[in-house]
Structures are given as structure tokens and as C-alpha cells.
Structure 1
Amino acid sequence: MKSLNILLIEDDMIEVMKLNRAASSLQLNHKVTEANNGEDALKILEQKDNLPDIILLDLNMPKINGIEFLKILKSDDRLKYIPTIILTTSNNQRDLLECYKVGVAGYILKPLKYEEYVSKIEKLLSYWSINELITV
């Protein structure tokens, strides 16, 4: 399996640590770049020669929320092809529908139990590491 360049957009440092811990406990050799909010993420994405393979995006963030960030991403001709997966605690149907309307690659609810979280992250990352990705 190929190693992924992942952009994690998450404002909760505990969630960031949890993802990093899950990835290292699974001994996955993925590179995780962290952005604490949508504005920071857009700055990272300006480096067009080093775009992530996938984006993991939290919905509830300060400044630019997840859906606003998605709309900006999808209106950019180079960035719109990056598969973006929502990783959230929100099971609000309106959020879910809005995300699929704008164009997400997946919508994953963060489970409360850490073991279930690790299992979801493992499945998510193993799928994207075998999936053929567009490089624009």
C-alpha cells in the first residue's frame, strides 16, 4: 500500500493527537500535516507542488467552518479533485446532505470508543491508500 500525504483540518488538539496515535499504532507510514482551521489549511494548500492526497476535515471549526471550507476548495480547479472526507461528531442530516451536495468523498462519524475510532481510521486509510488518486 502506498503511503498517503494527509491534510488533517481539526481545531481540537485532542482529536489531532488521537488521529496521530491511531495512525502510529497501526504502523501506517502516512504523512499527516495538521491545520487548526480552514484559513491555515488554505495557506498550506497554496503550495501547489505539495498537495495532499486526501483531506480529513472536521465540520465544527472557528473562522471558516467545514462546509464553507469545502465550498472554497471545490471552486478551485486544482484543489477540487483532492478527496475530502468529513471526520466529525455531527450526525446532523442537514450537514450530511450539504457535504454531499458540495462534493465530499465520505462522511465519517467519530465514535466515542477509541478502539472503534482506530478501526474506522484503519479502514479509511487503507481504502485511500489502494484507491487511484488524481494528480493535477
Structure 2
Amino acid sequence: MKKPTILLVEDDELDIISVQRSLKKLKSDYELHTAYNGIEALRILRDPNVGLRPDVILLDINMPRMNGVEFLKVLREDENLKDLKVFVMTTSSEGQDRSEAEKLGISGYIIKPLNYTENTKRSDSMEAFVQFHLRKILLDENT
């Protein structure tokens, strides 16, 4: 059975750590790759030497160089990448961001807690997302 593969496109180191911790609690075998912005993610996805075809992409919206919506637009225009599952995880509660992302065919949208001083709440929210949404995706892909 193929090991589930996740591409995390996130520029915030604390959020990366939070996703890693939450995934470890799944007690499931998976591969996690990280890109710090949309440009780096596209480079990884298009590099034939890397050969990455993730089961799911976890995407932040607010990133430097190429934000999540710009990344989604390019991804959906690429014949080889347009069908990839993308979950947006963002602090942006802007309706326009969500609307644009949904028009670009995302699988889900989670707003990360805005109160960053309480790391436990942030971790709990991330863990709940991973437990309920990501577990289902990863299990469905590999059954």
C-alpha cells in the first residue's frame, strides 16, 4: 500500500510544527513535504526529479512571494496538477479569500484561530482538523 503524501504550503514555522504534531497523533504512516510559499510548492510539484504527487495539499492563503489564491490559480491551469485535492488553512476570515478559493475547487477551508497567544487553542483546532478531515482523506485514498 502506498504511503499517503501531504504537501504543506505554509510560511509560519509554528503552524508547520502544529501540523506535524497533529499528524503524529494519527499514528499513521505518511510522508510530509513542506514548501514555504506558492512558488516553492510549484517548483516541487513540477520537478520530475522529486516526482511528488501528493494525496492532499494543505495550503495557507497569506504567504510571501505567491499567496495561496495565486498558487491555486496556477495549479488549476496546469494539466498535470489541476486535479490535486487542496485544503486551505488560513487565518484569513476575508469572505473574498474563501470565495476565490472555493471557485478554484478546494476540498475544504479551515480558519486557524486568530488568538495566537494561546497556543493550546491553536493546537487543538489544528488537531481537530487533522483528526476529522485529514484522516478521512488519507484513509479514503488508500483503501
Q: With the length of structure 1 as denominator, give the TM-score of the two structures.
A: 0.89
Partner of 1:76: 78
The separation in 2 between residues aligned to 1:11 and 1:132, in whole angstroms, is 27
Answering whether residue 127 of structure 2 is matched by residue 118 of structure 1, we say yes
The separation in 2 between residues aligned to 1:116 and 1:74, in whole angstroms, is 28
The separation in 1 between residues aligned to 2:20 and 2:4, in whole angstroms, is 13
Partner of 1:129: 138
State the identity as a percent. Answer: 38
The separation in 2 between residues aligned to 1:123 and 1:2, in whole angstroms, is 21
After superposition, give the CA deviation of every residue in 1:44-102 in whole Å (9 maximum; x if it has no partner). 00135331111000000001111000000000011010001101111211111111112
The answer (yes or no) to whether the contact 2:60–2:89 under 8 Å persists in 1 is yes
CA drift at 1:3: 4.1
The separation in 1 between residues aligned to 2:140 and 2:95, in whole angstroms, is 27
Cα gap change, 1:26 to 1:58, in 2 (>3 Å): same
Post-superposition, which runs of at least 4 consecutive aligned residues in structure 1 deviate over 6 A?
A: none
Structure 2 residue ranges without an equivalent (≥5): 116-120
Does 117-126 or 79-88 show the bigger shift? 117-126
Q: With the length of structure 2 as denominator, give the TM-score of the two structures.
A: 0.85
The separation in 2 between residues aligned to 1:31 and 1:75, in whole angstroms, is 26
Name the Cα RMSD after superposition.
Answer: 1.9
Question: How many residues of Structure 1 are paired with residues of Structure 2 in the alignment?
Answer: 133
The answer (yes or no) to whether the contact 1:10–1:57 under 8 Å persists in 2 is yes
Partner of 1:47: 47
1:66 aligned to which of 53, 68, 80: 68
The answer (yes or no) to whether the contact 2:55–2:138 under 8 Å persists in 1 is no
Superposed, 1:80-99 pairs within 5 Å as 80-99=82-101
SS in 2 for 1:131: helix
CA drift at 1:29: 1.8
Structure 2 counterpart of 1:93, one-letter code? G
